[in-house]
Amino acid sequence: MKKLYLILGIAFMISGAVAPAVHAMPEPYVQEAEVKTVELKVNGHQLNITNHDNEAKQVVIYALTGQVVKQFDAPHGTTAVDLGAGYYIVKVEKLSQRIVIR
SS3 category, 5: helix
Catalogue the E-assigned strands of 1-102.
38-43, 46-51, 57-63, 68-74, 77-82, 86-92, 95-101
Can you give the pTM of this predicted structure? 0.65
Per-residue pLDDT tens, the chain, 102 aa: give them. 667 666 766 766 666 554 444 455 455 555 554 557 899 999 999 999 999 999 999 999 999 999 999 999 999 999 999 999 999 999 998 889 999 998
Give the model's pLDDT for residue 33: 47
Number of domains in the chain: 1
SS3 category, 12: helix
12 within domain boundaries: yes
49 within domain boundaries: yes
Give the model's pLDDT for residue 16: 57
Which CATH number covers residue 73? Answer: 2.60.40.3080
Give the model's pLDDT for residue 6: 67
Query: Which residues span the domain enclosing 70?
Result: 2-16+37-101
- Pair 77, 68: CB distance under 8 Å: no
Neighbour-count burial of 66, counting CB atoms closer than 10 A to its CB (0-12 exposed, 13-18 middle, 19+ buried)? middle
30 within domain boundaries: no
Give the model's pLDDT for residue 93: 87
Strand-by-strand arrangement of the 95-101 sheet: 68-74, 57-63, 86-92, 95-101
52 within domain boundaries: yes
43 within domain boundaries: yes
Give the model's pLDDT for residue 19: 47
26 within domain boundaries: no
